[in-house]
Structure 1
Amino acid sequence: MMMSDIAKDRTAHLLKKRGSVSSLSSHEFRRKEPHGRAKDSMSTVSYMDEPCQSEDASRLTVHMENTYQLGPTKYFPVVIVNHILKDVLTTYLQEEQYEPELCRQMTKTISEVIKAQVKDLMIPRYKLIVIVYIGQLTGQSILIGSRCLWDPKNDAFASFIFRNSSLFALANVYTVYFE
């Protein structure tokens, strides 16, 4: 054996213990370049030869559970959410007068409060959308429409309208079941 062959065998033996083996230890080949020179090529293959003690712990029995569900196990409680909407709108807007800048901030605040209280119900796998409208009450009429694509068996919404002498407010909570 030549000295380079002994070095290759030692390297291959060391790499084999670590889990990586050079393909030159078993197969050597030369690739011709376009200029006629030969070029050495080396590739590596990683694998596990001998498991160590830390790997024995990872080979413990794993129990798999089927988590696929065909529908929600707990449905969205529309009646409870309607009470939340009524309480929040009444609490925040009972004594307020319509001021455009104040109402703009109140829509953000009220929608965040409603969203937090509905999330506290901990209804699994539902995505929430909370929309709050506040407008001045001056004898006009308004028509607000919404359109959504959903599954009527699993998805739901809750809505509440509040009025005082100066303003009106409409709060909608849409819930879409996330499969």
Structure 2
Amino acid sequence: MMMSGVAKDRMAHPVKKRSSVSSLSGHEFRQKELHGYTKNSRSTVSYMDEPSQRDDPSRLTVQMENTYQLGPTKHFPMVIVNQILKDVLTSYLREEQYEPELCRQMTKTISEVIKTQVKDLMIPRYKLIVIVHIGQLNSQSILIGSRCLWDPKSDTFSSYVFRNASLSALASVYAVYFE
């Protein structure tokens, strides 16, 4: 297939777009042409759009960055969390007597307070699970267990047991690193 000379010239030279944008309306523009000027003159902006080398897709560079982290940069502060657990349980339950309905509400309240205080430490990329158990002290024993699949290098937990004359409480915070 043979190309004409005009087609070859068009392919050889990049196409230049010429345009102008006027801030005058059509009526004002005609009025300016007729009278030579208007009372409030407006400007016209002209531009020429020419393809450049930086628009060439083959010349674009892509920078790749590895953002994957192998484990936490800051470890979970177990000592501080243990102190939070001790302070919250002691302040809420020091003088309380065991009553089933009250203890049900106290477990919700205490777990929210603990979760808020641990989140205020702003430990990055850890998911927190807070569990509080409150039971009556009446010469019986209790066995509480939990199971979870986790990485022992980055995931951890903290717990504290509180007792007074009437009740026993266990608060646990599980910190699972989110990759």
Tell me the TM-score normalised to structure 2 length: 0.65
Q: Distance in 2 between matches of 1:164 and 1:117?
A: 23
Q: Distance in 1 between matches of 2:156 and 2:145?
A: 16
**1:123 aligns to what?**
123
**2:78 aligns to what?**
78
Structure 2: which 5+ residue stretches go unaligned?
A: 1-49, 52-60
Query: Which string of whole-angstrom CA distances, capped at 9 and with x for unpartnered residues, describes residues 72-126 of structure 1?
Result: 0001011110000000000000010000000000000000000000000100000
Q: Distance in 2 between matches of 1:140 and 1:114?
A: 27
Alignment size in residue pairs: 124
Tell me the TM-score normalised to structure 1 length: 0.65
Give percent identity, aligned residues only: 84
Q: Distance in 1 between matches of 2:82 and 2:125?
A: 20
Quick check: which has more Rg, 1 or 2? 2
Alignment of 1:109-120 (within 5 A): 109-120=109-120
Give the SS at the match of 1:176: strand
User: Are positions 1:162 and 2:134 aligned together?
Assistant: no
**2:97 aligns to what?**
97
Structure 1: which 5+ residue stretches go unaligned?
A: 1-49, 52-60
User: Are positions 1:68 and 2:64 aligned together?
Assistant: no
Q: Distance in 1 between matches of 2:149 and 2:97?
A: 36
Q: Distance in 2 between matches of 1:110 and 1:62?
A: 50
Query: Which string of whole-angstrom CA distances, capped at 9 and with x for unpartnered residues, describes residues 122-153 of structure 1?
Result: 00000000000000011111111111110000
Q: Distance in 1 between matches of 2:113 and 2:146?
A: 22
The offset of 1:66, in angstroms, is: 3.1
**1:150 aligns to what?**
150
Q: Distance in 2 between matches of 1:177 and 1:135?
A: 30
For residues 153 and 96 of structure 1, do their structure 2 counterparts lie closer, same or farther at Cα, with a shift above 3 Å needed? same
Query: Which string of whole-angstrom CA distances, capped at 9 and with x for unpartnered residues, describes residues 20-59 of structure 1?
Result: xxxxxxxxxxxxxxxxxxxxxxxxxxxxxx99xxxxxxxx
User: What do you get for the CA RMSD once the two structures are aligned?
Assistant: 2.3
Give the SS at the match of 2:92: helix
